[in-house]
Structures are given as structure tokens and as C-alpha cells.
Amino acid sequence: MNILMISCAKATELIEKRNASGLSAMEKVKLRIHTAMCDACRRYRGQSEFIDAILENKLRQPVGKVEVTEEMAKSLAESIRNKLK
């Protein structure tokens, strides 16, 4: 039974590994046992999942697009021409 017990440091490592690349079956069992007994690591897992969800949502959103009007394009072209002279 002792081989299934892990420290909080190892649990946080597994939580992050799970989010990044996945866990083996044994790692899943060890993490499940630890988080069943440890409030701090359960909270950490929830916070980590929350942060990952926010980041994933932000990455899916399109970056703000600037609509370039014809007037803006002409002004920019004129500015470039003047600097090249």
C-alpha cells in the first residue's frame, strides 16, 4: 500500500503532467488516492484546471483585428514615401 502513497509535491507534479501530456494508469491511481485524502491538492487541481480552461479559451479567441480603411492606407503610403525621400 505504501507504494501508492505520494507526497504533495509529487501530486502537484502529476496534476500538471496530466494537463500537459497525460498520465499512466498507475500515476492516475496514485493521484486519485492522494487527492481523495488531501484537501490542499484537491484545491490545487481545481485551480490548475480552471487556469488551463481560461488559457485554452483565450487561445481560441481571435486576436483583435484592425480594419484598415482606404484613407488609412493612403496616409500610410504617403508617410512611407516621404520617409524614403
Q: At what angle do helices 25-37 and 39-60 cross, to 10 degrees?
A: 120
Q: List the chain domain ranges.
A: 2-62
Pick the more confident residue, 76 or 8: 8
Q: What pTM, to 2 d.p., does this model score?
A: 0.64
Render the burial of 68-82: b for 16+ CB within 10 Å, e for the rest: eeeeeeeeeeeeeee
Mean per-residue pLDDT, 10-19:
93
pLDDT confidence of residue 64 = 64
d(CA 3, CA 17): 19
d(CA 35, CA 78): 64
